[in-house]
A = this chain, B = another copy of it.
Amino acid sequence: MESPTLDELTLLHANVCQALGDPKRILILYALHEQPRHVSLLADDLDMPQPTVSRHLAILRQRALVTTQREGTAVIYHLADSRIINILNNMRQVLRDAIAHQTTLLS
């Protein structure tokens, strides 16, 4: 494992942010924080097709935002780092404050 240059780190950084840039993935991360789950259960709970959930989980896994653990035929997904939820919550608060300052976000 090499130590990445600043540009490489910025690129990885952007990749992680991009992974967060989809509403379904945000819902998935919050759901996994509440309780690790296997794919089908997650699909049921969030009312999404199983292949859709699987694809999004693959992206999150590739970006190291979630981890997996096999259990028979099922694969349990966990949030990789609970600080991710803190980050998401912080962003949400900044967003709420921005809305409160009557920007044109909702147009």
Cα A80 to Cα B9 in complex, Å, equals: 24
Task: Report B-chain residues with C-beta under 8 Å of the C-beta of A44.
Answer: none
Whether a CB of chain B sits under 8 angstroms from the CB of A88 is yes
| Contact in complex: B13, A26 (CB < 8 Å) | yes
Q: Is the interface of A mostly helix, strand, loop or mixed?
A: helix
Contact: B88 with A13, CB < 8 Å? Answer: yes
Give residues of chain A (6-34) contacting chain B, Cβ–Cβ below 8 Å.
7-23, 25-27
Closest chain B residue, CB of each to CB of A19: B21
Contact B95 A9 (CB under 8 A): yes
Could you tell me which A residues sit within 8 Å of B by CB distance? Answer: 1-2, 4, 7-23, 25-27, 62-64, 80-81, 83-84, 86-88, 90-99, 102-106
Q: Which residue of B lies closest to A11 (CB)?
A: B23
Is A103 a contact partner of B14 (Cβ separation < 8 A)? no
Question: Can you name 12 A-B pairs with beta carbons within 8 Å?
Answer: A11-B23, A12-B106, A13-B88, A13-B92, A14-B21, A16-B94, A18-B18, A19-B21, A64-B98, A64-B105, A81-B97, A87-B87
